[in-house]
Amino acid sequence: MVSSEVAVQNSVGLHARPATFFIQRANEFKSSIWVEKDERRVNAKSLLGVLSLGIVKGTKISIIADGSDEEEAVKTLVELIESNFSE
């Protein structure tokens, strides 16, 4: 199991389009992946789950993965968030 903490810095947080893009990337991996905020953990491959966390600009979240490609999954998703979803 691998995890990493990252702060969401894009202007709208992890909502609508950025959340959809995040979930599409998460679904490229075989590992189980979760997003954790304030001790609430949701499936990173579920749009409703991710949106339910209410992640806004400046929120720190943890990305956790468990499986055969866990390191690559966490690294890719952290880089995606740090790039502000290439905006």
Catalytic residue ranges = 15
Q: How far is CA 33 from CA 11, 12, 39, 77, 87, in A?
A: 24, 22, 15, 10, 24
